[in-house]
């Protein structure tokens, strides 16, 4: 039995310990905000935060996060008004929106580590998250806006 704290709640899993965390979150628990995009840690759509670090849930097995704290987009802020979420709305970032929860979680991790990133630092730190619609300019702007205070 593996125990994990997810968005502040205790969860237990007694199935395959190698199951990627992504599918535990989405299919077993029903936290569908975390998305599937590649299954190989290539696109960042499944980004969650584990102990303040951005982690790709598609290649992180459930046993890797045993007894640790996982935060998904649903648990980021009780009212959905984290400064990064607000900045995203203010700049009208999304087109289809599918990759955005992963982008937001990556941005939160970036700002935790570097609260005032330059544009170049933003571009580098967010390069692991693909947006096929091509919202990069707005993502960059939103991260900048969040870092300077909405």
Partner 1 sequence: MNIVTNPQKLRGFEKQIKVEKISRRGILKGLGVAGGLVLAAPLMSRQAFAAYQTGASKMPHGVVVNPRVFVAIAPDGIVTIIGHRAELGTGVRTSLPLIVAEEMEADWTRVKVKQAYGDEAKFGNQDTDGSRSTRHYLIPMRQIGAAARVMLESAAARRWGVPVTEVRAQNHEVVHASSGRRLGFGELAEDAAKQSVPSIDALKLKDAKNFRYLGKGEVSIVDLRDITVGTAHYGIDTRLPGMKYAVIARPPVTGGKLVSFDAADALKVSGVEKVLEVKGWPWPSKFQPLGGVAVIARNTGAAIKGRDALKVVWEDGANASYDSVAYRKQLEEAARKPGLVVRTEGDVNAALKGAYKVVVGEYYMPHLAHVSMEPPVAVADVKGDKVEVWAPVQSPGGTREDVAKTLGIPEDNVTVNVTLLGGGFGRKSKCDFVIEAVLLSKAIGAPVKVQWTREDDVQHDFLHTVSVEHIEAGLDKSGKVIAWRHRSVAPSIASTFAANVVHQAPFELGMGLIDVPFEVANLQCENPEAAAHTRIGWFRSVSNIPRAFAVQSMVGELAHATNRDQKEMLLDLIGSPRIVKLDSVKDPWNYGEPYGSYPIDTARLLRVVEVVADKGKWGRSVPKGHGLGIAAHRSFVSYIATIVEVSVDDKGKLTVHQVDTAIDCGTYVNPERIQSQIEGAAIMGLSLAKYGEVTFKNGKVEQGNFDTFPVIRMDESPIVTHVHIVPPDSDAPPSGVGEPGVPPFAPALTNAIFAATGKRIRALPIGKQLET
Handedness of CA 34, 35, 39, 40 (dihedral sign): negative
Q: Which of 100, 109, 110, 111 binds partner 1 (CB under 8 A)?
A: 100
Query: How many whole angstroms separate alpha carbon 118 and alpha carbon 124?
Result: 10
Residue 11 is a binding residue for partner 1 (CB under 8 A): no
Query: How many whole angstroms separate alpha carbon 22 and alpha carbon 12?
Result: 15
Q: Which of 88, 108, 111, 146 binds partner 1 (CB under 8 A)?
A: 88
Residue 115 is a binding residue for partner 1 (CB under 8 A): no
Q: Which of 101, 109, 110, 146 binds partner 1 (CB under 8 A)?
A: 101
Residue 119 is a binding residue for partner 1 (CB under 8 A): yes
Helix/strand/coil for 65 = helix
Structure tokens at 117: 């990133």
**Cα–Cα nearest to 28, from 39, 38, 20, 37:** 20
Judged by CB under 8 A, how many residues of this single chain contact partner 1?
A: 69
Query: Scanning residues 15 to 54, which ones bind partner 1 (CB under 8 A)?
Result: 15-16, 18-20, 22-24, 26-28, 30-40, 42-43, 45
* Residue for token pair 């998904």: 72
* Residue for token pair 């991790």: 109
Structure tokens at 125: 């730190």
Residue 145 is a binding residue for partner 1 (CB under 8 A): yes
Interaction site with partner 1 (CB under 8 A): 15-16, 18-20, 22-24, 26-28, 30-40, 42-43, 45, 72-74, 76, 80, 85, 88-92, 94-101, 104, 119, 122-124, 126-141, 144-145, 148, 150
């Amino acid at each position: 039995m593996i125990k994990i704290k997810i968005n502040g709640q205790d969860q237990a899993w007694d199935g395959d310990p190698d199951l990627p965390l992504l599918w535990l979150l989405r299919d077993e628990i029903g936290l569908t905000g975390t998305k599937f995009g590649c299954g190989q840690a290539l696109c960042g759509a499944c980004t969650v935060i584990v102990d303040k670090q951005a982690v790709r849930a598609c290649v992180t097995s459930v046993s890797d996060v045993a007894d640790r704290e996982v935060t998904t987009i649903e648990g980021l802020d009780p009212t959905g008004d984290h400064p990064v979420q607000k900045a995203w709305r203010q700049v009208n970032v999304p087109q289809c929106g599918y990759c955005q929860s992963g982008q937001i979680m990556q941005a939160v991790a970036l700002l935790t580590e570097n609260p005032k990133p330059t544009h170049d630092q933003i571009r580098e730190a967010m390069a692991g998250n693909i947006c096929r619609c091509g919202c990069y300019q707005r993502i960059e702007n939103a991260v900048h806006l969040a870092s300077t205070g909405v």
